[in-house]
Chain A
Amino acid sequence: MKSRTIKVDYLARVEGEGALYVKISDNTVTDVKFKIWEPPRLFEAFLRGRNYSEAPDITARICGICPIAYQMSSAHAMEGAFGVTVDRQVRALRRLIYCGEWIESHTLHVYLLHAPDFLGYEDAIQAAQDHPELVQRGLQLKKVGNDLMAFLGGREVHPINVRVGGFYKVPTKQELAPFVEKLKWARDAALETVRWTATLPFPDFEQDYEFVALRHPDEYAITEGRLVSNKGLDIALSEYDDHFVEEHVAYTNALRSVIKERGAYLVGPLARYNVNFDKLSPLAQQAARDAGLGPVCRNPFKSIIVRSVETLYACDEGLRIIDEYEMPEKPAVEVQPRAATGYGCTEAPRGILYHRYRVDDQGVILDAKIVAPTSQNQKSVESDLWQFVPKYMDLPTEELTWRCEQVIRNYDPCISCATHFLKLRIERD
């Protein structure tokens, strides 16, 4: 077959503005570009000179879908820098609000953004006409996550209750109690979601990814752990910059991350699942097995099942936390700034979100670095396309284009998060 170009100028059903370009010459893929053309956001630059205590609220503004991830990574980085350890129950509450974010974000993607690809619909509106109960279940499940975020975070979008050292306000055990019924319903709905997603048709496509995720000895890591991969990486957060590097590529406004020694890597639900399957709750493990997943899953299209398993886990874990909750004496511990560098990394719904701050002895931020999950996955998205297109080369262009878009949507990319930085170089003679 002759030469073909696959172009999607405005990707649908992704958060933010991105584009795709694939060039095929004489039946060979010669070029793949996943372009992020949403303008750069420059958050790192305007964090400089601000007080350490402002970092959680400023960085929460980077994303309307995963603000908790930004608040947690920045709060942890500052707490690390100042040698602060939060109360055990405060830590648990942070995990709980994070569970809310996972439920909300994963459910939005599974039901409204990703499912139409498998069901053969243009969008969720069409899907809702034929499967109203299904979409209704998704909306209700998402709402449980939103409610949890709004309750613990003060409000749903850009929550305001997280601070360095803990929270501004913590609930009583009684105030949390109504969430037990909600989460029990959500857990059942999430289990149904796993069962339903397992019945979707998946292309036969596997990749030998390097999965990178946090790993914690006692739990399915969300807020703490070492950075671990299936290819031998096992490092403390402070070693991140020794192993990962961001490269600037001309056609995209997001920096692209690679592991220095090995190149592309994958973060997010699939990575967490593969690195930490043994840490999922028994219910989540069983549901995954019943859905036909083993402890290893290398098919990116099946990330929709894995997101559902993680949603189930988040409900299960939320119930456990509420059951063991006792209101801490103080919502936050005292923080004394000192000159230091702090590292924070937590598992945003789309994967590890790394923050590094250098602060002076007054707590003023001298330097900030933020690496969002979607920037880290950019290279894997492209490498999936390099492998995927040759297998489906014979499809008519329109269908192939649609399939390529699916390859991108497998990652639930959050393009707004990724465009955080642009390297600008002025050359003068």
Chain B
Amino acid sequence: MPPAKGGSLIIGLGNQYRRDDAVGLTVARRLKEAAPAHVRVLEESGESTALMDSWQGADTVILIDAVHSGAKPGSLHRLDAHRQPIPTRFFHYSTHAFGAAEAIELARALGQLPPRLIVYGIEGKTFEAGLGLSPEVEKAAQEVVERVLGDLCYPAATEKMLNS
């Protein structure tokens, strides 16, 4: 699919078959139903060059992935890529040699970050093989859906609130 010029893009990342690692995909699927029609929603595995390709031309990109930083399962991290670097160990459970954090940092180095790039990291509990989210992560998934809708509908208000 050729990249759309402008507009908003939601990208859910993860592996369907690694329990909580699927949370990004789950959120993306729910947003496909809930988001306004002009918003594009993609599911990606997290391979970096495909990721950089997929967001080309978009004005606002919202990326959702499971993370493993040691925080309480279900905790929510919200990062604005223009305000802070994304720690490369953040998406620890990707087996890609070059994953989502690298894609963002590489795009930054090359001056190719989308004008607005928000990353939601949801702290996972279990990344073992299998289907289904743990209850804490499931709860967080619903919250992220609502917050992303807020980001899309009231971008200025959200930024102001979060940055104050």
Contact = CB atoms under 8 A, between A and B. Distances in A.
A125 B49 contact: no
Given A128-B109, A132-B109, A135-B110, A157 B95 contact: no
Interface residues of A, number: 27
B45 A146 contact: no
13 contacts: A12-B97, A17-B95, A64-B45, A112-B98, A124-B106, A125-B106, A125-B109, A129-B109, A135-B110, A143-B53, A146-B49, A157-B45, A157-B47
Given A124-B98, A135-B106, A157 B49 contact: no
A87 interface: no
Nearest to B98: A112
Interface string B36-63: 0000000001010110110000000000
B49 A142 contact: yes
Interface of A: 12-17, 38, 64, 108, 112-113, 123-126, 128-129, 132, 135-136, 139, 142-143, 146, 156-157, 416
Given A112-B97, A125-B106, A132-B109, 7 more contacts: A14-B97, A15-B96, A126-B109, A135-B106, A139-B49, A139-B52, A143-B53
In the complex, which range does the number of interface residues on chain B fall in? 10 to 19
Interface of B: 45, 47, 49-50, 52-53, 88, 95-98, 102, 105-106, 108-111
Nearest to B48: A112
A20 to B, nearest CB: 16
A108 B49 contact: yes
Given A13-B97, A15-B95, A64-B45, A136 B53 contact: no
A136 B107 CA distance: 10
Contact of B110 (A16, A108, A123, A136): A136
Contacts of B96: 15, 64
Contacts of B108: 125
